Structure 1
């Protein structure tokens, strides 16, 4: 079957039958993404969909600006709008991880009303990622194949320049966007052969052959593994099977949460961000599902891109299942009346404060619910706040340690509101997570 037909089949499966009127493509200029651009061009004309192409120039190589210009030329020839998003790395953190975050954050700023962004990950990427994560000792989540559709929610605006065509602005902006990978069942060499046949253009990123990068090393290793029956296809198939097993664990964890867990709410219905498990939660299912649930709850509370590592989670699970507390992944576990409470660790949010305005986001999660507190400070409650909340403590039923990291609003050293401890008018803050996962913790567990 031709690549055009396979691409059309993948798009129909992932987004059909009622396709969005506008779809974005992230195109770097490499062979995979340029082939995807050509495939999408042919498909879009047949289905009446408008494409918007975006190139993120990370500025990490001197050739990157010329590569972005090449993509712009190809888009002009094909008749599609194009924009370049320029990011300037500040030199902190891991380069690859910082670049990935910047790419998603810049695309989110640029996308306007578009809710779907195509990315050209291939079967080779699945196999290489499997090997890289196997070397790190990853569990089933890390070893599972990347999803063909994945909702991402960039947590903050990324500074950078946007030059080129902008999609239409939305009347109401949706939280995050859907990454769609229609080329996951295609091989890298297949896509390059497609371009060569059509005399298409692309550039080769020299970092793909640089042994300083883990992915480049895995590509070399895969050539050796091929002779032993562990080539790209076998590794990718294994990752896909593990993905099916991961989905089964997600379902079991979500079902267990429905029986033994709840999000803490005040008498007024405000959510505090504290999660509660029944005393016998770990006896209600098998150990693997219990660990899955616990890891998912820590992932949810922390707001991190990934959940805790498998080895650390194993030890944490054993401690709390035997009645002990502890901290992991920026979260803490404590007990009250036999129930397990999970909440943000105070040390993880200490020192974080935001002056409240229209775009305020504290701890990657909490926003002011209205403008009445503009100019005030949003931060963790802390010890000073705890001393001021005595009237609301009994009704809130939260212990001292859980209360210290609650979001609260202050003005000139005076506590104005802490929904979790019934201080203030109530409904002062809302969680960004409620926008991202309207179905609450259960929806999160089913998608992570």
Structure 2
């Protein structure tokens, strides 16, 4: 679980520790030192000592910037999630607990009303870090609890916590929200709805090549996330551009459009979303060196691990004519729209291209990412959506 040392995370650490002991489960405290406060090393040591007293394992990471001149809270949040994801993967965890409370829900709603583009907090959601957080879920068991009640409970137990001065620094939106709510502006935290109703997304699916298909009446939020997944990125498309697309879909138009690194193909029978090959021309091709035995995330859409040295991975676009006969036969059976974005292996000496799945272990990330992000996975026991291709390029491993 993520432990900053503040009251909410300390309370959850004690509660989670009691649950872990009772259920025979390991617990690791993950701490991110943002380096933004001169006392941050002291906070790190206090959290480490707290974990030691409880018998929990401890992992920490530091963010040393670069710190932006504007948008510091968002940058710090992104850095925190990326480091939490890296640490969770290192210890073999699939779930990270966070101490968000009903007060955080109220603060986030106040900030959205002021124009801050924050997402909805849910009890159970995928890590927002990509690709670091692939396959990793966040669980927020305290969303129904008030911060004041947790502090009363801690005080009754004689347990202290860290007060971060940034929480009262009115340069930051979160601090302004706390002050406004403390003076009666906006909604009471206990009255804020928890926004946990899942999207109706059973018909939004992805196949082994990362091709996403959806009905024309798909929820726009599900479509937006599908575009992000197909494009391999992490940022949702702007609302105005997405609104124009959904208007054209609702009007019954058939068309093709690019957005968020993805290509949307709107046909009478439904929607298809694939990687936009033209995006490679605009941004440059994602060509990466592969280290034997090391899993590499390529284009935000596949993990690839080769056994041999000397390979690079690149997109198929512009290279299809040089494939061998067997690889051409495999490609011919696949969706034409998906072919340009398939990963191939090449060497500096001109060897290749060969389909990556013919020479390496390849995992397509789209289906799992889509299922997690659209709320189609409801329980820890269901986090088994890994799907790879054997090095013969054909039969999938489940």
Q: State the TM-score, normalized to the length of structure 2.
A: 0.76
Contact map agreement 1:326 1:334 (CA 8 A) in 2: yes
**Residue 314 of structure 1 pairs with residue 248 of structure 2:** no
Contact map agreement 1:254 1:446 (CA 8 A) in 2: no
Report the CA distance between 1:150 and its aligned residue. 2.8
Which residues of structure 2 form unaligned runs of 5+? 378-398
1:331 alignment partner in structure 2: 262
Contact map agreement 1:316 1:328 (CA 8 A) in 2: no
Contact map agreement 2:99 2:141 (CA 8 A) in 1: yes
Bigger mean CA deviation after superposition, 101-110 or 66-75: 101-110
What SS does the corresponding residue of 1:273 show, helix, strand or coil?
coil
**Residue 360 of structure 1 pairs with residue 296 of structure 2:** yes
In 2, distance between residues paired with 1:51 and 1:33?
14
What SS does the corresponding residue of 2:353 show, helix, strand or coil?
strand
What SS does the corresponding residue of 1:26 show, helix, strand or coil?
coil
Which residues of structure 1 form unaligned runs of 5+? 1-24, 159-174, 264-270
C-alpha RMSD over aligned residues: 3.5
1:271-286 equivalent positions in 2, closer than 5 A: 271-276=208-213, 281-282=215-216, 285=217
1:153-164 equivalent positions in 2, closer than 5 A: 154-156=129-131
Please point out which of 116, 131, 144 is paired with 2:110.
131
**Residue 233 of structure 1 pairs with residue 168 of structure 2:** no
2:365 alignment partner in structure 1: 432
Count the aligned residue pairs: 362
In 1, distance between residues paired with 2:260 and 2:233?
8
1:100 alignment partner in structure 2: 77
Greater per-residue helix proportion: 1
Report the CA distance between 1:27 and its aligned residue. 1.5
Contact map agreement 2:125 2:375 (CA 8 A) in 1: no
In 2, distance between residues paired with 1:407 and 1:45?
45
Contact map agreement 1:254 1:293 (CA 8 A) in 2: no
Contact map agreement 2:264 2:273 (CA 8 A) in 1: yes
1:416 alignment partner in structure 2: 353
1:210 alignment partner in structure 2: 169
Check 1:427–1:75 CA distance in 2 against 1; reply closer, same or farther (3 A cut). closer
Q: Deviations over 1:245-296 (max 9, x none)?
A: xx1xx22x323x4xxx774xxxxxxx4333356xxx42xx4xxx35344324
What SS does the corresponding residue of 1:254 show, helix, strand or coil?
coil
2:155 alignment partner in structure 1: 196
1:346 alignment partner in structure 2: 277
Contact map agreement 1:134 1:143 (CA 8 A) in 2: no
Check 1:31–1:304 CA distance in 2 against 1; reply closer, same or farther (3 A cut). same
In 2, distance between residues paired with 1:117 and 1:262?
25
Q: State the TM-score, normalized to the length of structure 1.
A: 0.69
Please point out which of 35, 53, 58 is paired with 2:34.
58
